[in-house]
Copies of this chain bind each other. A is one copy, B any other.
Amino acid sequence: MRFAIAPEQADFVAGLRRLLAAADTPAVLRASIAGDHAPARALWARLADLGVSALAVPQRYGGLGATPVDLALAFVELGRAGVPGPAVESVAILPCLLGQVAPERLEPLLAGSVIATVAAPPLAPRAADCDAADEVYLCEAGTLSLAAVQRRERSVDRSRTLATVSATSVLGEVDAGAAIGLGFLASAAGLLGAGEAVLEQAARYATQRVQFGRPIGAFQAVKHLLADARVGLELARPVLFGGALSVGTGDEARDVSAARVCCADAAYRAARAALQVHGAIGYTAEHDLSLWLTRIRALQHAWGTQRWHRSRVLAELTG
């Protein structure tokens, strides 16, 4: 029993974090909001160089065939940095789906030259971030198809575009469970990372912002708000990796959904605390915090709601 990341995993995380810290992701997100996806594409290309897009592609197709733990580690960093999507879809879900029926489509995906997204009704009724994607898929009733955008809709997170899609050509029958399970895990990881990022921003702000003659972090109300959010994140992290270790076992449904519940709750609590600590400035679109706040809210509803994941855990526990 060694429930800690290995040195080579820590190295991978450190490399990823360095790349992302230098990438000015807030500017990338703002460009996406303005409809300019070129900066996001450039960032994705650099992430592909580091192997991110090849993580979940099996080795027999030239990918890294990384473990779910590695995938989760990567998504924590993507979430922390606020990398625009479609990440869960392109990196976590589609490799597993395409490997089953259209492995020839994997190569550009793992190389990062193609970014793709997928809708999976009824759980994920819309394809996310299709404006930034080269390919759109539809996975419905056990069938994977290429798809075309029907109707665009806006998300509360202005850097996301959502669209209902319809199938244009059928690729074949797939077992979607494993693929979407990886999507749940990646979604949980991304939320944890985003939650950690907003709480760090809030803690930094609390030591700098002075009101009533003291840094606001000296007030017990602010301390306790931050501490409670920290507790949530600290407890969510091991549940995330417990979920990653359960992938492929009989406990996967229970443990991955538990991870998603914990990470999404902890991230949301951290976001609320961060906004309260920042006060009015956190409410402005100009402040970077806003990019994470709306994203964390939006992702509560993506790839299964909290309610859906909770009832899945309960069914596993009592079924």
Contact = CB atoms under 8 A, between A and B. Distances in A.
Interface of A: 219-221, 224
A147 to B, nearest CB: 38
A95 to B, nearest CB: 45
A220 B224 CA distance: 10
A224 B221 CA distance: 8
Nearest to A221: B220
A272 to B, nearest CB: 16
Contacts of A221: 220-221, 224
Nearest to A222: B220
Contacts of A219: 220
A219 B220 CA distance: 7
Looking at chain A's contact residues, the main secondary structure is: helix
A224 B220 CA distance: 10
5 contacts: A219-B220, A220-B220, A220-B221, A221-B221, A221-B224
Nearest to A224: B221
A81 B83 CA distance: 59
A221 to B, nearest CB: 5
Contacts of A220: 219-221
Nearest to A225: B224
Nearest to A219: B220
A96 to B, nearest CB: 42
A221 B220 CA distance: 6
A148 B44 CA distance: 78
A162 to B, nearest CB: 30
A212 B155 CA distance: 49
A219 to B, nearest CB: 6
A221 B221 CA distance: 6
A144 to B, nearest CB: 40
Contacts of A224: 221
A289 to B, nearest CB: 23
A74 to B, nearest CB: 38
A211 to B, nearest CB: 13
A196 B35 CA distance: 56
A266 to B, nearest CB: 21
Nearest to A220: B220
A278 to B, nearest CB: 18
A24 B221 CA distance: 38
A219 B223 CA distance: 12
A221 B225 CA distance: 10
A251 to B, nearest CB: 31
A221 B226 CA distance: 13
A224 B224 CA distance: 11
Closest 5 CB pairs of A and B: A220-B220, A220-B221, A221-B224, A219-B220, A221-B221
A219 B219 CA distance: 9
